[in-house]
Amino acid sequence: MNRKHLTNHALAARLRLSHDNERLREALALISDIAHGSTTANSLPNIARIARGALTTSTPPDNFVDVETEV
């Protein structure tokens, strides 16, 4: 592998991680809102569903720049 390929690969990985971090922060904020707003155990299934969804890998949004194909 050459240096340019490694740089492009690192940039693509950084963009993907940035997308995942944003998604996880949104999920945690939603879980926090549900937990603070509810006093019953009925919200636990919703919290579990949101947490499972946040932990699965997602595809970046359509405007995600794939560095590999643009070079």
Instruction: Output the pLDDT for position 29.
Output: 92
Q: Where are the domains of the chain?
A: 3-58
pLDDT score recorded for residue 70? 46
Model pLDDT for residues 3-61, shown as the tens digit of each residue: 777 787 788 888 888 888 888 899 999 999 988 887 777 888 888 888 888 887 666 65
9 Cβ contact list (under 8 Å, min separation 6)? 67, 68
When comparing pLDDT for 63 and 46, which is higher?
46
Among residues 60, 32, 66, 64, the alpha carbon closest in space to that of 46 is found at 32
**What is the reported pLDDT for 57?**
67
Residue 65 or 60, more confident: 60
